[in-house]
Chain A
Amino acid sequence: MKTTLRSKELTCPSCVAKIEKALKALDGVQDATVHFNTGRIEVEHDPETVHGEDLVEAVRSVGYESRVAAF
C-alpha cells in the first residue's frame, strides 16, 4: 500500500536522506521517497504492521512535522 505524507518543513535537501532512512528503518516499510521540491513523501508499506500515524511519528523523530494526505 502506498501512503502519501506532506510536509511544509523541508528547507534544505539534506533532510531528504535523513527522513527516507528513518522511514525505511520501520518494520513493514518497503520503500520511502522524499521529494524535497514539493515536500511530498511517498511511502510503500504494509498496512497491517505500519499505519499512517506511525509514519508521521517516524518523520517527527528526525525533527520534521508532516501529515497524511489524500493524494
Chain B
Amino acid sequence: MTRRAFSERDIHLALDGELPVDEMLDFEHWLAGRPDMKTLAARYEQDRAALRAALAGIAEAPVPQRLTAALETKRETQRGGAVWQRYAAAAILFLIGGLSGYYAASLSQPVATPLLTRMADNAIDAHLIYSNEKLHVVEVAADQRDHLQGWLSKRVGVKLVAPDLRALGYDFIGGRLLPFEKTTAAQFMYQDASGGRVSLYLTRDETRADTGYHWLQERGANALYWFDGGYGCAIAGTVPQATLTAIADAAYKQLLEG
C-alpha cells in the first residue's frame, strides 16, 4: 500500500478526530519525520487544551436560577424579576422532586447507610480509574452488549440492563466486572461526543432497601446513588449534578423496566 502525501491540513484532521483510522499510523510516521509539522501539531494541541481549560469552569459552575426558571415557566419569567425568580427556582426544585419522587425525599432522608456510601465511594474510585484509560476503558465492548449484560447479570446476581442514554448524548461503550464488599459489581461506561465519560456502578442489594437519591462529591467527581428494587446503583462522572440527575432519571426507569 502506498502512503499518501500528508500536509498541514492533516494536522487539523488528526486533531479533530477526522483522519481515517487506517491513515493514522502513516500520518504519525510522516509527522515524526517533519519536526516543523510536529511542533505545529503540538502547538495546536496546546492551544486547544488552553481553550478547553479556560472554558471548563463555565460548564462546571452552578446554573443561574433564571435559566432553570426559564425552562419551567416560559411566559411568566422576566429578566430582572428577582423575587419572582426565586419562587420559580423553588418551584422547579419541587417539580424535579415530584417527578422522580426521590430527589425531594432524599432531603428528608436520614444519613446514608454506610453500605450505601461505600458503594458510591467504590463507584467513584472505579470511575476515576477506568474512565481515564485510553485503550482498556472496558472489559467487554458495546458490540457484545447482549453477552455482556447476560454475563454481568449472572455474576452480580441481579438482572442488569445497560440503559440507553443516547437521548442525553451518551453512547454506551461497554462494561466490566468489579469487586464490591467481597462480592461483585458491574460497571457500564458511557461516552459523549466530546469524549466525556460517565459510568453506572451496579450491585445486588439483599436488603431490598429503597433509599432515594443521594449525592457524593469526591476528588472532582460527582456520584448520584440509590438502592431500590433489590439493586444498588451509583452514577459517577466529572459532570455537573444536573447532568447526573437527568441520567439517573433515564437510567432508573430502564433499570426497573429491564
Is the pairing of A and B real? no
Chain A interfacial positions (CB closer than 8 Å to B): none
Chain B interfacial positions (CB closer than 8 Å to A): none
